[in-house]
Amino acid sequence: MTMAQRTEIDGSTERPLHARAWVNDRLVATSSRAVRIEQPGGAPMLCFPAGDLKGELPAGTDELLLPSAPDGYVAFNPGDARVRLTLVDDCGSTDERDRTLKRFPTWGDAADLIDLLNVRRDAGGSYVSVTRDSAASAHREIGRAHV
């Protein structure tokens, strides 16, 4: 894939998740129209429509923004310790107790889990599997797992 792939943040168009961006514990953006953009070889971006920002960003936060966000969108760097991105999943329920928060970038889906569990023997006699280095970076890379 040569271009970034743009998807709704939960992979469907029926019930998009509500996204929130926090900088230094201050809510700076909230949107049900945010999009997740997959980047080849990198972490996904969570892009908020610029109109969904809650006023001006705090001073000195320009370095927290990812320059590769599409026109009309703002993307925060989830790898920065001052940034917290969350997705609110209400499971289609109106009961507050049914809501869960998911830290972005999310870990993945069933296909990612299957790929992780599918260890393969390489030419050197070791076993190879896809690993994830951390939820904060959300990078997929090839790693070695000795079984």
pLDDT digits (tens, 9 = 90+) for 129-139: 876 543 323 33
Per CATH, the number for 5-103 is 2.170.150
Express the helix, strand and coil content of the chain in percent, nearest 5 each: 10, 40, 50
Separation between Cα atoms, residue 75 and residue 21, nearest integer Å:
9
Residues carrying CATH 2.170.150, the chain: 5-103
CA atoms within a 13 Å half-sphere pointing along the CA-CB vector of 84: 11
pLDDT digits (tens, 9 = 90+) for 4-32: 444 444 443 345 688 999 999 899 999 99
**Statement: residue 77 has pLDDT above 80:** yes
| Inter-residue contact 99 to 88 (CB < 8 Å) | yes
pLDDT digits (tens, 9 = 90+) for 102-117: 888 876 667 777 877 8
